[in-house]
Structure formats: structure tokens, C-alpha cells
Amino acid sequence: MDDFSFSRRNMLGALGAGLLLPETALAAPRPRIGGRIRVASLSSSTADTLDPAKGALSTDYVRHYMFYNGLTQLDRNLVPRPALAERIESKDQQNWHVRLRRGVTFHDGATLSAKDVAWSLQRHKDPATGSKMATIAEQFAEVKATGPLDLTIRLTGPNADLPTILAQSHFLILRAGTKDFHSANGTGPYRCAQFRPGVRTLAQRNPNYWRNGRPYLEEIELIGIPDEVSRVNALLSGDVHLIIAVNPRSTKRIRASRRHALLESKSGLYTNLIMRQDGAPTNNPHFVAAMKYLLDRPLIKRALYRDYATIANDHPIPPFHPYYRADLPQTSLDLDKAKWHLQRAGLRGVRLPVYASPAADGSVDMASIMQEYGSRVGLNLAVNRVPGDGYWSTHWMKHPLTFGNTNPRPTADLIFSLFYKSDADWNESGWKNPQFDRLLVEARGEADQARRKQLYGEMQGLVHDRCGVAIPVFISLIDGYDRRLKGLQSMSTGGLMGYQFAENVWWEG
Amino acid sequence: MAGASSSSGAKAAFSLIGKRLASSLLTLFLVSLVVFAIAQLLPGDAAQEALGQSATAEQVAALRHEMGLDRPAHERYANWLTGMVSGDPGQSLVANLPVSEVISSRLPNSLLLAALSALVAVPVALLIGIASAMNRGGKLDRALNISTLSMVAVPEFLVATLAVLIFSVKLRWLPSIAMVSDDMSWGDYLRGAAMPILCLSIVVIAQMARMTRAAVIDQMDRPYVEMAVLKGVAPVRVVLRHIMPNAVAPIVNAMALSLSYLLGGAIIVETIFNYPGLASLMVNAVTSRDMPLLQACAMIFCAAYLILMLIADVTAILANPRLRAQ
């Protein structure tokens, strides 16, 4: 992890190897061109979009990575690698210079220029765009094309993570002035042959793709099958060749098939218990500590997720992350300590409602487990199971005890800024820690990796000790695939290879 | 004599159709009012649902303004109603397309599935119903009774899931999902839609067959049937020529109810087979709080139901000489 920084030197070195596959995979039989596959993702509705800024669900991300490219692309170690940018560099982490790859063309034949990039990045700041990344794009103080292939990005403050942020699907590059999203005009590995919201997306190989030899597949048909059992059935019956989001309970069925296999991606996805810090009794530090001791993490991992999970330590950085702090003591189930803390909080025998919902994956079962252990230490948790529909707008963070569910974010800065900073909109527990906020800003502008890791480590300690969230496990993402599909690898940023399988897989059938 | 009665029958039917159409419009209006009111009670609105968990207050306010959700509810309803009266169901809030365009891509799929299911279900149901009525108390009647009763009792998600496990996963005869695309052939379509049709048919066959049996048996005990039998008319002829014209009203009534179910009640089958029909579109509209789309779907289902009921009533009048004369 020494060369985690995105300096000019290792940037140049990475030029040739701008692929997601590690060297070992390249020694395997050469990928062949051709083949059609059908891929089923989680959901598909009239809200499907070809506008990367509006992408909301896995189906959207997959679709966008098929048709568009970003300036950068994350590799399996979450290190940003060049994509449309040949170089992206900065001395002060605030003023960035981007040099674009030469000779990249859009599907309509136009050549990619710095103007397209500047337009694509700036549109996120326009409220009319409705961008999901509007708050993050606020830090783009100025994006200016300085030449046909050169542009400068001036940020409102230093941020060493810019190359990682730009790899997100929302920041994929469009042709300047694009308004019509009935079809896609990108630089990506596939062209859009058909897009029917809620029905299907048909992608055909782009023979002029700038990455030599890629992509391999002739055609990809992307559909959504919201019902998990139907999705697994479709895979097992051979109607689709790749599916996302397999329930741990269905893994047995797929393992039993000789024609199919599972791909587990360890991820930073978690479901957490939120204890609001703006009112009694949940703001009592003893209560918070007691709840953390009440979590039977191995049981949750085993019973809820059939071991497709990683035990977490009440902070949002998963063990495989480069900034993970390994020396924090692991909180585990301890009824005596929980009882002692409850007594100190004066909450024995009190009845507390906790809101759980299918919208926050696994929360209903987690709440039941906590209720069971709580009854042994004199805590009376009343589990209110509420429907998933409308959960986020009506219940999440609105009661003293609720559950949240947070998707993996590509950088530690994003997850901390979005969910733990004192003034963040989704500061779930509503905790206020000035020291944490200071560390966050300092780490963001810090270019030295060792120092950064130390700063993020301190922040993990603060969240672990004081924040009103309890994170029992990180949930693994499980995909199912037909064994004739080759080249799939796990990516911690999301299922289906971080939604980017399309340009990496090939078919041997 | 016959000519006079049929012309007065036609007159009665026309005046009934006219009255029914007027009351149907009133019903549609009331239904739209109720659907709109209930949808207002749902937590969250289209802007919040579209932005999801990650929405900030400013984003929601901006999107609300863009969607026109910041106007008072009665104003939005009046706006929708005037649009609907002039034939424009408005713009889908989520898909950013005219509602008519969104629906026109799904309605044919639903109609086709319903029509094919009806084509399978109606003859089979009639056959089962008549056969078991004619064998009342016999072995065949009992066998058919048990099977139709168990068909009514087994929920369709179980039928559908079992069918997928057997025909798709184990035997690999039929696809587990019903793909529909513009460029597919009829053969492909029928292969994909075979299991959805099967599952939908099973549910409605049972109901229709039982109603048919009851209606036919009801007539069998009448004196005129006894007379016909005593005169030596063949049993099949008794049923087809003498009983059916009198039993047709309740049978058509039952069928109209079942067929309206094929259109709107297909949601479970659409979900399991991922069939792009109107029912799942409506569920989409509810979860995304897309009011114009939801209203339009509700109007279509309601209108279909009213039309089917109208057909049933007109058939009953035309089939019954006493009603015809009134």
C-alpha cells in the first residue's frame, strides 16, 4: 500500500496496466471475443436512467459503466487508476491538473475533449440536474478547459481523494451539452442499442473502444428481477448468466449446481443501530455502551448472513480497507458489562421502542436478537417492525432507536463526511465531536499516506468509543454466475465487480 | 312478435348502456378521488422517494418544486382532472415521460396475457363446469370438485413457484422469466408466457368452473328441464339448447369478475415471472409515489372492470326474455 498516492510517477507507471485485472489473471488463457449474456440485477422500474448523475441503484450503475467512462477507475485495492485521464496530479491537493487520453471517441464519432469533461463535472452543481452528488460537487470551485486535452479543477479546499471520487459512476463523462437521455452517447465499452426503462437495456460491443482488445462480449442484455427467488431461479434455469444480490439463504441452491458458482465480495456495507444523541435516554453514554455490549456479532454473522459477513467494531471502516485500524479492541457480547452500564444509566426495567424495517437489511432480526439479550439484563426493547416503503423518509433517524443501512463508499473521507461529521445531513446519531471534525478536514488534505492512516485511525477510535451507532457486521455482497462466464473478480465497492464487470468478462460457451 | 321483442330488447339494452356509461363516469371520478386521497396519506412523496435515503432537505425542496409537488393537493388534483378530461393523463414524475407513453408500452403486454389466459381458461372452465353438473354426484363430478376446490385453495405464488422449479430449474423446458421484446417471434413469446398463462388460468378456471356448475345445476332442477328429459331429449342437447340460455347470465357474471382479475390481479404472476405488465407498473407507481401514473393505472383497471360488468349485464338482459321485455 506504499504507492497509494496518486502522484505523477506511479500514475505514469500505471498507464500500461490500467486494467482492473491483476497480473496473475493475465497469465490465464486469453479472453476471447464474442458471446451474448443476459444479466439480472436487483431492480428495474420507470425510474431507470441513462443519466449518470441520477444513478440511484445497482442497475443504473451497471448500465452507466457499460456506456460511459470516468476520468479514473478504481482497481481491486481501491487505488485509482487512469481511465479517460492520462494523468491527474496536484501539488497542494487543491488545484488539480488533468491531462486527457488522446484519440478517445464518443459513440457518435466525436472526439473527447476537455470541454466535455468540464461540462460533465460542472453540471452536478446545477440543481436542475438533480445530481445525487450535488453536495460532493460543491467542492468543485472551478473546472476549466485549458486546452483540447487539458483542464484544471480548483477545489474549495484540499482533498487528496479527488481521483477516487472521480471514479464513481455519477462522475462518468458525457458529451458536452447532452440533454436527451433516451439513448446514451458515451466513450464506454458498449453502445446503447436499446433502453426501455423498467424492461431492459441492450448493450452492443463498441469496436472502437479505446482500450485495446476490449470489451470481449458481443452483447449484454441487462434486466432487473426484483424478486430474489425468481432471480436465483432464472440463473439456475439458464435464462440469465449473471445475477446480483443473492440472499445468503439461497447460496446453498447455487452451490449445489454444477453449472453455477458464487462470487463473494467483502464490502463496507453495514446495517447499524442508531442511538440518537439529541434526547434522553439514548444520549446517555452508558446506554450506548450497554447496547454495544448487547450485540452478539458472531451470531448475527452466522445466523443472518450464513457467514457471508465480516465482524465489525462499531466504526464504518472494514478490515480490508487500507486505513483500517487493527489495534482497536473488539467489542463483543458481554452481558455483565451491559448490565453494569444499564444500571449506571438508570435504565433497568425501562421499556424502549426500537424501529426496524426490511428496508434496513437484517434489522428486524438484529432487533429481535437484541431484544432477547436485553431481556436477560433487564432492558425491555419493544421491536416495532415497520414497512420498507417510506422507511427512510418517515422513520430513519426520526426515533431515538432506529436502524440505518449504509452502502460502501469508495473513500474513508466520504463515509466519515457523509455520516459522522457533526453537521452532516445524515449524521445518523446526531453526535457532535469537534475533535473528529478537525481530524476529518486535516486527513482530507494530507498527502502523506502514513500520516493519513494515523488520522483515520484516530477517527475510528472516536466513533468506536463515543458515537451513538453500533455496527455489528459488514455484509458481504454475493453474486451468482454461470461458470462459462470468465474473468469475474470481487470488488469491495459493489456487486458485479463494483458494477464494472461489462468490460472485464468474457464468455467461453 | 319475435321482431318486436328483440327491438324492444335492443332499446332496453341501449338505454341501460347509456345509464351505465353515465354512472361509470361517476364511479371513475369517485375512484380517482379516493386513490388520490389515499395516496396523499402514504408516507413520503415522489421527490423523497426519488432521492431516497441520501436526500438532503434542499434537494427534496428543489425536486418538489420541479415536479410541482409544492402546490396544494386540491390544486394538483384539479389540474390532473382537467388534463384527464381533455385526454391528457399528464407527465410521469419519475420516468420524465408522458404517462400515455409509459402505459402504451405496458398495456398491450397485459391485454395479451389476459386475453390468452382467458382463451385457455374460459373453454376449460365451461367444460369442467358442465361435465361435473351433468354427472352430479358421480365419480367424475367428485374428482372435478376436489381438483377445482384445491385449485381455489392453493395460492398462485405457490403454483407459480412450483411450476418454475419443475419446468425451468429441473426440466429446463420453459424459461423462468417471461421476456417481452419488440423483435421476438410469436413462438418465443408463447414459450415465455406459457407459465404465466398457466398460473393465471389455474386460478380463474377453478372459480369459473364452480360457478358454471352451480348455475347449470340450478337450472337442472327446473320443471322445463324435467319435461325435456321426459320427452327423450339427449342430455347434451338438454344442456346446450335448454339449460345454457338460462344459465348464461350468472356464468357470464362470474366470468366477468374472473377476467377483470386477469388484468389487475396479475401482480403476483407478473412479479414472479418478471413480466412487464400494467399491474407491476402500478406497484412501481405506488412505491415511487408517481401520482399521475398511479391515477392512470387505477383508471384503466377501474374502466376495465366497469366494461366487463356492463357486458355481463347486457348479456343477462339479452339472454332473458322477461328482462328483455321490460
pLDDT confidence of residue B270: 87
Q: From the candidates B56, B169, B273, B297, which should be mutated to test the interface with A, based on the most A CB atoms within 10 A?
A: B169
Q: Whose CA is closest to B38, among B322, B234, B286?
A: B286
Is pLDDT above 80 for A22? no
Is pLDDT above 90 for A304? yes
Mean pLDDT of B128-135: 91
- pLDDT over 90 for what percent of chain B? 15
d(CA A78, CA A73): 9
d(CA A39, CA A62): 10
Read off the pLDDT band of A58 (50, 70, 90). confident
pLDDT confidence of residue A280: 81
- pLDDT over 70 for what percent of chain A? 94
Mean pLDDT of A302-326: 94
| A159 within 8 A of A92, measured Cβ to Cβ | no
Q: Whose CA is closest to A14, among A74, A82, A78, A101?
A: A82
Whether A199 and chain B come into contact, CB under 8 Å, resolves to yes
d(CA B25, CA A409): 52
Residues of chain B neighbouring A238 (CB-CB closer than 8 A): 172
Residue partners of A418: CB distance under 8 A and separation at least 6: A409, A424, A425, A426, B54
Cell of B58: 434542499
pLDDT in tens, A497-509: 999 999 999 999 8
Q: Are strands A72-74 and A80-82 parallel, antiparallel or unpaired?
A: antiparallel
pLDDT confidence of residue A9: 41
Ramachandran sector of residue A130 (left: φ over 0; alpha: ψ -120 to 50; beta: rest): left
Q: Which residue of B has its CA nearest to A405?
A: B53
pLDDT confidence of residue B54: 62
Whether A389 and chain B come into contact, CB under 8 Å, resolves to yes
Cβ–Cβ below 8 Å for B274 and A223: yes
- The CA distance from A444 to the nearest CA of chain B, in Å, is 22
pLDDT confidence of residue A422: 92
Average pLDDT, chain B: 85
pLDDT confidence of residue A267: 93
d(CA B320, CA B296): 36
Cβ–Cβ below 8 Å for B169 and A237: yes
Is pLDDT above 70 for A296? yes
Q: From the candidates A393, A418, A427, which should be mutated to test the interface with B, based on the most B CB atoms within 10 A?
A: A393
Whether A340 and chain B come into contact, CB under 8 Å, resolves to no
Whether A200 and chain B come into contact, CB under 8 Å, resolves to yes
Tell which wins on pLDDT, A415 or B12.
A415
HSE (side-chain half, CA atoms, 13 Å) at A350? 14
Mean pLDDT of A169-176: 95
CA dist B34 → A313, B257, B274, B292, B322 (Å): 49, 22, 29, 14, 38
Q: Which residue of A has its CA nearest to B277?
A: A199
Whether B283 and chain A come into contact, CB under 8 Å, resolves to no
Read off the pLDDT band of A194 (50, 70, 90). very high
Whether B94 and chain A come into contact, CB under 8 Å, resolves to yes
A419-422 contacts, C-beta under 8 A, 24 or more apart: A419/A316, A420/A316, A420/A459, A420/A463, A420/A467
d(CA A479, CA B313): 53
Q: Which residue of A has its CA nearest to B94?
A: A47
| A469 within 8 A of A463, measured Cβ to Cβ | yes
pLDDT confidence of residue B1: 38
pLDDT confidence of residue B40: 84
Type of residue numbered A209:
Y
Mean pLDDT of A194-204: 90
Whether A352 and chain B come into contact, CB under 8 Å, resolves to no
Tell which wins on pLDDT, A264 or B38.
A264
Whether A222 and chain B come into contact, CB under 8 Å, resolves to no
Q: From the candidates B49, B274, B293, which should be mutated to test the interface with A, based on the most A CB atoms within 10 A?
A: B274
Q: Whose CA is closest to A321, among A500, A426, A453, A447?
A: A453
| A173 within 8 A of A115, measured Cβ to Cβ | no
On the question of a cis peptide bond just before residue A316, with omega within 30 degrees of 0, the verdict is: no
Residue A20's φ and ψ, nearest 5 degrees, are -80, -20
For every residue of A480-499, which 3-state class applies, written as one string? EEECCEECCCCCCCCHHHHC
pLDDT in tens, A315-365: 999 998 989 999 999 999 999 999 999 999 888 778 899 999 998 999 999
Residue whose entry in the numeric block shows the C-alpha cell 435516554: A281
Q: Which residue of B has its CA nearest to A44?
A: B284
Tell which wins on pLDDT, A132 or A303.
A303
Cβ–Cβ below 8 Å for B176 and A196: no
DSSP A249-316: GGHHHHHT-TTEEEEEEEEEEEEEEEE-SSSTTTT-HHHHHHHHHT--HHHIIIIITTT-EEE--SSS
d(CA A200, CA A44): 8
Mean pLDDT of A38-63: 88
pLDDT confidence of residue B317: 79
pTM of the predicted structure, to 2 decimals: 0.83
Exposure string (b/e) for A347-371, b if CB count within 10 Å is 16 or more? beeeebebbbbebbbbbbbbbebbb
Q: Whose CA is closest to A216, among A65, A37, A73?
A: A37
Residues of chain B neighbouring A390 (CB-CB closer than 8 A): 42-44, 49
Whether B176 and chain A come into contact, CB under 8 Å, resolves to yes
Within the 127-156 window of chain A, which residues sit less than 8 Å (CB to CB) from chain B? 127-128, 130, 132, 134-135
Whether B42 and chain A come into contact, CB under 8 Å, resolves to yes
Whether A258 and chain B come into contact, CB under 8 Å, resolves to no
- The CA distance from A469 to the nearest CA of chain B, in Å, is 17
pLDDT confidence of residue A11: 43
Cβ–Cβ below 8 Å for B288 and A45: yes
Cell of B295: 391515477
Tell which wins on pLDDT, A388 or A468.
A468
Where would I find the beta strands (DSSP E) of B256-323? Answer: none
- The CA distance from A507 to the nearest CA of chain B, in Å, is 21
pLDDT confidence of residue A385: 94
Mean pLDDT of B38-59: 76
pLDDT confidence of residue B62: 79
Q: Whose CA is closest to A38, among A259, A247, A257, A243?
A: A243
Residue B71's φ and ψ, nearest 5 degrees, are -85, 155
- The CA distance from B152 to the nearest CA of chain A, in Å, is 23
Is pLDDT above 70 for A219? yes
Q: From the candidates B49, B64, B179, which should be mutated to test the interface with A, based on the most A CB atoms within 10 A?
A: B179
User: Among the listed ranges A158-162, A237-241, B9-13, which one has the minimum average pLDDT value?
Assistant: B9-13
Is pLDDT above 90 for A64? yes
Is pLDDT above 50 for A284? yes
pLDDT confidence of residue B93: 82
Residue partners of A451: CB distance under 8 A and separation at least 6: none
- The CA distance from A36 to the nearest CA of chain B, in Å, is 16
pLDDT in tens, A89-115: 999 999 999 999 999 999 999 999 999
- The CA distance from A415 to the nearest CA of chain B, in Å, is 12
Whether B126 and chain A come into contact, CB under 8 Å, resolves to no
SS3 A242: strand
d(CA B318, CA A244): 56
Cβ–Cβ below 8 Å for B169 and A229: no
Is pLDDT above 90 for B291? no
Mean pLDDT of A270-276: 95
- The CA distance from A210 to the nearest CA of chain B, in Å, is 31
DSSP A222: E
Cβ–Cβ below 8 Å for B59 and A130: yes
Residues of chain A neighbouring B271 (CB-CB closer than 8 A): 226-227, 230
Which among A127, A239, A396 has the least Cβ separation from residue B62? A127
Tell which wins on pLDDT, A205 or A42.
A205
B281-285 contacts, C-beta under 8 A, 24 or more apart: B281/A46, B281/A198, B281/B102, B281/B103, B281/B106, B284/A45, B284/A46, B284/A47, B284/A198, B285/A46, B285/B94
Which among A128, A130, A196 has the least Cβ separation from residue B105? A196
Mean pLDDT of B127-137: 90
Whether B130 and chain A come into contact, CB under 8 Å, resolves to no
SS3 B142: helix
Residues of chain B neighbouring A227 (CB-CB closer than 8 A): 271-272, 274
Average pLDDT, chain A: 90
Residues of chain A neighbouring B163 (CB-CB closer than 8 A): none
Whether A432 and chain B come into contact, CB under 8 Å, resolves to no
Highest mean pLDDT among A64-68, A192-196, B272-276, B314-318: A64-68
pLDDT in tens, B172-202: 898 888 877 777 788 888 888 899 998 889 8
| A221 within 8 A of A38, measured Cβ to Cβ | yes
Mean pLDDT of A246-257: 94
Is pLDDT above 70 for A13? no
Q: From the candidates A42, A46, A202, A259, which should be mutated to test the interface with B, based on the most B CB atoms within 10 A?
A: A46
The count of CB pairs under 8 A between chains A and B is 120
Whether B165 and chain A come into contact, CB under 8 Å, resolves to yes
